[in-house]
Amino acid sequence: MNRDSRIYIAGHNGMVGSAVWRALKKLGYTNLIGKTSTELDLRNQEAVTHFFNTEQPDIVVDAAARVGGILANLKDQYGFLMENMQIQNNLIQQSVTAEVEKFIFLGSSCIYPKLAPQPLKEDYLLTGPLEPTNEGYAIAKISGVKLCQALREQQDRYFVSLMPTNLYGPNDNFDLQSSHVMPAMMRKFHEARENDNAPVTLWGSGTPLREFLHVDDLAKAVVFTLENELPGHLYNVGTGKDLTIKDLALLIQKTVGHEGEIIWDRDKPDGTPRKLMDVSKLKKLGWESSIGLEEGIRETYAWFLEN
């Protein structure tokens, strides 16, 4: 890539998009393009077509999506499936029409079957049933992966799908109704500490195992994928290490300084029992994560306090 390549980052204000923007800017890329959701509704085909005709990007990073935790996904499977397909279909189609040089599609580890062998390999895609609580979102992302794969195989286009594990970091969503597990815990512990170390109630049993990747590490993986010609169409992005939700809670509790009780609400769903990524495919090509979980949580909590 040239430092003046026109790079459109869809979803540039979100946690992932803003991290990719920061990473590219830090490396001297000067021609970054971003539009807010009010400036450009990516669900609107006509609006996206007009945008591509006007801006003529050379490279597209699709970090735009409707995302949420278990509760948000459960309440609106239709919305998560339909809106994510609209967003990615419009971006992919217009990128084909505009003959962009490179397209990075960002998905999630939830595309893999609920009970797939661990750690999750890229080859396990579509080998079993999905986790029901976020099936709509997962199916949308799977369709995006398959579109990029088909374009690569049929038209030899550089469309690559990166599937990150659970992400966290600056610009995360800390809304308790729609956030993922880590920011939700962070806010709960913070508010409980402020409220005389009140007890904190968390969903499930605390036994599921999860892997967490700092969003700045994902951004570095995106840059790595853009600056190198990767031979495959699908790559997992993670740390290759996991921990129980209970251990995560204790780590966040310690970071926040909450000294009250933790209550586990076992009537609430646990979700997938384990979700660990096999990251050997990307590691062999020269990329691996560098931000430790304890360090990353400290940085994220500091950002939360400031913002």
Would you say residue 117 lies in a domain?
yes
Would you say residue 248 lies in a domain?
no
Which member of 8, 29, 112, 137 is catalytic?
137
Task: Identify the band that residue 17 occupies on the pLDDT scale cut at 50, 70 and 90.
Answer: very high
Helix, strand or coil, per DSSP, at residue 73: helix
Assess whether pLDDT exceeds 90 at residue 231: yes
Task: Find out whether 203 is annotated in a ligand binding site.
Answer: yes
Would you say residue 249 lies in a domain?
no
Q: Encoding tokens for residue 239?
A: 């740390």
Task: Find out whether 199 is annotated in a ligand binding site.
Answer: no
Task: Find out whether 246 is annotated in a ligand binding site.
Answer: no
Would you say residue 299 lies in a domain?
no
Would you say residue 271 lies in a domain?
no
Mean of pLDDT values over 36-56: 98
Query: Assign residue 219 a region: left if phi > 0, alpha if psi is -120 to 50, beta otherwise?
Result: alpha
pLDDT of residue 23: 98
Residues of the domain holding 91:
7-168+212-239+276-291
Is the link from the previous residue into 119 a cis peptide, with omega within 30 of 0?
A: yes
Task: Find out whether 35 is annotated in a ligand binding site.
Answer: no
Amino acid, res. 239? T
Length of the chain: 307
Backbone angles phi, psi at 167, to 5 degrees: -105, 155
pLDDT of residue 75: 87
Helix, strand or coil, per DSSP, at residue 256: helix
Mean of pLDDT values over 140-166: 97
Would you say residue 98 lies in a domain?
yes
How many Cα neighbours within 13 Å face the side chain of 280? 6
- Give CA separation, 54 vs 21, 50, 94, in Å: 21, 6, 12
Q: Give Cα 109 distance to the centre of its chain.
A: 9
Task: Find out whether 106 is annotated in a ligand binding site.
Answer: yes
- CATH number for the domain that contains residue 283: 3.40.50.720
Would you say residue 173 lies in a domain?
no
Task: Find out whether 79 is annotated in a ligand binding site.
Answer: no
Task: Find out whether 16 is annotated in a ligand binding site.
Answer: yes
Q: What is the mean pLDDT of the chain?
A: 96
Assess whether pLDDT exceeds 90 at residue 270: no
- Higher-confidence position of 270 and 238: 238
Task: Find out whether 11 is annotated in a ligand binding site.
Answer: yes
pLDDT of residue 93: 98
Task: Identify the band that residue 273 occupies on the pLDDT scale cut at 50, 70 and 90.
Answer: confident
pLDDT of residue 40: 98
Taking only the tens place, the pLDDT of each residue in 132-146 is 988 999 999 999 999
Number of domains in the chain: 1
Backbone angles phi, psi at 236, to 5 degrees: -80, 145
Say if residues 134 and 190 touch (Cβ distance below 8 Å).
no
Task: Find out whether 136 is annotated in a ligand binding site.
Answer: no
Task: Find out whether 284 is annotated in a ligand binding site.
Answer: no
Would you say residue 197 lies in a domain?
no
29 flagged as catalytic: no
pLDDT of residue 201: 97
Task: Identify the band that residue 69 occupies on the pLDDT scale cut at 50, 70 and 90.
Answer: confident
DSSP readout, 210-238?
E-EEEHHHHHHHHHHHHHS--SSSEEEES
